[in-house]
Amino acid sequence: MNYQWDGIDRYPDILEYVGYFDRFFVFDHSDVAKYPQYGFQAACNFYFDDALETTPNSNDNLYFIGGYEPSRTESIRQFVAHAQKAHLPLDFTFISKHPERVAHQIAGQGIQHLHFAQATPFAENIKKAQQSKVLVDFVIQQHQGLSFRVFEALGYRKKLITTNHEIAHCDFYHPNNVCIWNGQDFDKISAFLALPYHELPPHIYKKYRFGNWIHRILAPQ
């Protein structure tokens, strides 16, 4: 069994190994229709529910960490520029092979660039996510699947700003909790940040936690 937690078009070499697995799950639902000959099954990412009792929200930061991807550079630059003008506190980290080059493209207060060898440990990332008020997510053009950031925001009761429009079709979407940003309307962001977080029904949080995810994935066909 395999779970492909990134778009097939981003890493097409995985298609050479599909035959080694009896079941193959993909996080981008569009890959199921795009590659019908492989019999992919749709799944999604999740959040780790064993960390829910740790550090509570303790700052107003807008938090993002991710690899540098050219397809989302322009939207990130525009977002950072707006945040600086609006005096929004950022905690953004970009991971890349050449951080000094990326720093010339995306720069500002609250922005740091790290080499892959210096990547933030997973536990530290979770702690920062829990401490922050808002998580930010910039979709990559090669896929439509929802990133781990989306589900961390859900599980840790954080507000989310994302450029992935697919989230509007999800059962956990609520306009108080999720701002789908089109890359242009900055007034929408300001209005969103002023809204209170809307608590969702308990079964929604349970549905997307890791314990439930692994149970479903390992369930016999």
Confidence category of residue 59, pLDDT binned at 50, 70, 90: confident
Long-range contacts of 205-209 (CB under 8 A, 24+ apart): 205/154, 205/155, 207/171, 208/44, 208/46, 208/47, 208/151, 208/154, 208/155, 208/172, 209/46, 209/47, 209/48, 209/49, 209/155
Residue 157, sorted as left (phi over 0), alpha (psi -120 to 50) or beta, turns out to be left
pLDDT > 70: what percent of the chain? Answer: 97
Give the tens place of pLDDT for each residue, 63-118: 999 999 888 999 999 999 999 999 999 999 999 999 998 898 898 889 999 998 88
pLDDT tens profile 125-140: 999 999 999 999 999 8
* Residue 197 token pair: 């977080």
pLDDT digits (tens, 9 = 90+) for 6-33: 899 999 999 999 999 999 999 999 999 9
Judge whether 168 and 180 are in contact, CB under 8 Å: yes
Q: Which structural domains are found in the chain, ordered by start?
A: 2-43 (no CATH), 49-205 (3.40.50.2000)
